[in-house]
Chain A
């Protein structure tokens, strides 16, 4: 049992909201209308007559039913199930008695309401445990007061408080009213991890029933009284801006209410990082229905003007090549002397890897509901960064924060795209101008052509081996569009005597941003493919070669060990686990890779067969060390998703540019992996080490691209240096 303080940092983590505000803090009345009417039907439990708010995270009904708020945005990473599981664990209630609700943005109660960096669970862990433990302590205190016994003689189990000596017991429902009136304790004790009964068990997605029955859950599903549909047309190419419009034809089309140019971001406005992909000026189309707006949008006659350089993919590639031939002014990290080591090396291996821009392509295109009046702004929709959206809205709407309400819907995918919430700002500005509630809808074409893309990259590695096949020198130089790519303190830094990491960035007007596992989503695959080449040159088994390097990093680390951004023992641990589970042996058209990112370690072994030019992955074995696994059922789903995502994009996907214009606008030309192309089987093995949980939504994606490249080499005899590995156009389906 560990004792923790209930106040952390500048915020009181846990506040007794019933004392503070005298009422519920959860839910805005205007939001209730968007809850599915059938919600009650699906809940096979009786609703309480009265709810008692214990703290901002939970309320308890008079019949013992508990509602737990899930504070963070849900993008498919399943935090809406996992976060409440953590609260329920420390509350010590039965999971079957728990209802889950999505919390609105509320910076007074919740910290870091953000979906990104695979950090929701890691950073929420303590606060969520504390929320549950605080409530449990208050329920125990309420019982102690009523029974006139000492609180430390009281136990809890599955929603019941009991006192063994007197034989007294009461349910949480019976005690909730008294508990809600108590002061929040200064410190509370947390459960031993070995006493967990909910954490570590398979729990089904709390929204599962609504998803499979097609209920309204997503931003695009929002319907409100008097709501109009809005669309926007943004410049067709990067480097262009709006000049003039002739909307006479489109305006007279059926259902169309208004068409106008709009400045979403007035000049001089203070932007947040989340406004990264924002276009300041565009054309808005407002009408009665989505289809009518789509037709009018096609009929617009807009003149754009060239404001900046029009860039082509050929230009990006040429410039990145030039950067790889440029020595940067200073290295990101330098240990030993690589130049001297290369001179003495018995063997040198050198290779260059590249990858294109990628769009996020969430299945649900960008959208947002907004109703802005002079008095207040109500926004509802899919956003990974609601807190930052609110800050920008306060600027552009010239409204204080407390007049702005933001609620998150379940999101049809995120992958980083919805970190950049300019679509929310667009919705608000259009609503303000129309003085009406609107739902902004991007078409798939808008969504794909108006992204904040994964940058395109090139990276060159050079390795030197001595006579015995020991790695004695490592030089990496990486370049990316708007991104300098290299993580200089990650493996193999610390495992090689002579190490040099250099990074360079090419400035481009194509907007780029975080895409699932930023940077790692390319560099892991490149590095792990290169290590394979080096192991081969050294005449060593690829797993044994990697383990040797980890041994070196453990026994005699190179350079400033404080800087090394990984734990070589845990790294080696996943590699050994996957070796054992996959019955590793060289040959078999198999490839291996391991990587560390988002505070977690992943190692994979997969096999591949060629079907003509197209690879087909058989079984992927995946070992993961992400500390305590909250919900193994959905944790495996995340791992599988990352693997399929990684293999799919490395094999098929790319976004190219001609005169600043994306050349892929929809899934007819942008190829995403399909069912028959997905691996036959994915086996996931978690390391059980009781360490506090770390990232899970991203870490399985990066290494799998390396494992695939290495298996492809075994299957075809050639190395794969350029993504996408297959560049055929997609077959037409449907």
Chain B
């Protein structure tokens, strides 16, 4: 066990956990931030995607000891009131079916748009390829990312 002071969504959070614990479980079990989802635990599905200094990373592969001073943003901290352009586009297009994968999809999409505000259709699909949606909302996801790009 060790103590970590983590910068999450603009706040400092203190946790006492084993250093090997993935951020996914630190967020979900220790900080009660359950928006970041568990889907595979092996970097295949993208459900656990968060931002680490603006980069989309898989929190199931990120040991808490590796975070240090870097800033983490989760779905809960993407915007104050759920009004990030990507979130708004997701609502407008009515993307979710079951909804379980969508936090990860939104975090991947918002990281993409930060780096590349005007992605092509191919760039969008390729960037979203690491995020599985078992319900099959892929066409709506692409539409919503495009809409968010146009609106921001």
Contact = CB atoms under 8 A, between A and B. Distances in A.
B39 A363 contact: yes
Contacts of A678: 136, 138-139
A382 to B, nearest CB: 10
The B interface, classified by DSSP as helix, strand, loop or mixed, is loop
B133 interface: yes
Nearest to A213: B82
The A interface, classified by DSSP as helix, strand, loop or mixed, is loop
A294 B17 CA distance: 15
Nearest to A646: B136
Given A214-B75, A254-B1, A672 B132 contact: yes
A567 B134 CA distance: 32
Interface string B27-39: 0111011111111
Interface stretch (A405-413, A419-427, A521-529, A574-582): A405-413
B65 interface: no
A376 B17 CA distance: 34
A675 B98 CA distance: 17
A681 B143 CA distance: 10
A489 interface: no
A443 B41 contact: yes
A289 B139 CA distance: 36
Contact of B130 (A214, A410, A638, A733): A733
A229 B131 CA distance: 27
Interface in B68-123: 74-76, 78, 81-82, 87, 90-91, 94, 96-103, 106
B149 interface: no
A638 B97 contact: yes
Interface stretch (A134-142, A204-212, A258-266, A479-487): A204-212
A218 interface: yes
A676 B129 contact: yes
B41 A675 contact: no
Given A290-B28, A641-B97, A666 B141 contact: no
A259 B120 CA distance: 52
A711 B19 CA distance: 53
Of A211, A220, A289, A443, most buried by chain B (CB within 10 Å of CB) is A211
Nearest to B34: A221
Nearest to A217: B99
B22 to A, nearest CB: 7
B132 A363 contact: yes
Contacts of B17: 289
Nearest to A631: B94
Contacts of B135: 76, 363, 413, 641, 645
Contact of B40 (A75, A208, A444): A444
Nearest to B136: A644
B140 interface: yes
Instruction: List the 7 closest A-B pairs by CB distance, nearest first.
Output: A214-B35, A76-B98, A412-B100, A644-B136, A214-B75, A678-B138, A211-B99
Interface of A: 41-42, 75-78, 202, 204-205, 207-209, 211-218, 220-221, 223, 229, 254, 289-291, 294, 361-365, 410-415, 443-444, 633-634, 637-638, 640-645, 648, 666-668, 672-676, 678-682, 733-734
22 contacts: A76-B99, A78-B97, A205-B96, A208-B94, A208-B96, A211-B96, A213-B35, A218-B37, A221-B34, A289-B25, A291-B18, A291-B25, A364-B39, A412-B98, A634-B94, A640-B137, A644-B136, A667-B44, A678-B139, A681-B139, A682-B139, A733-B43
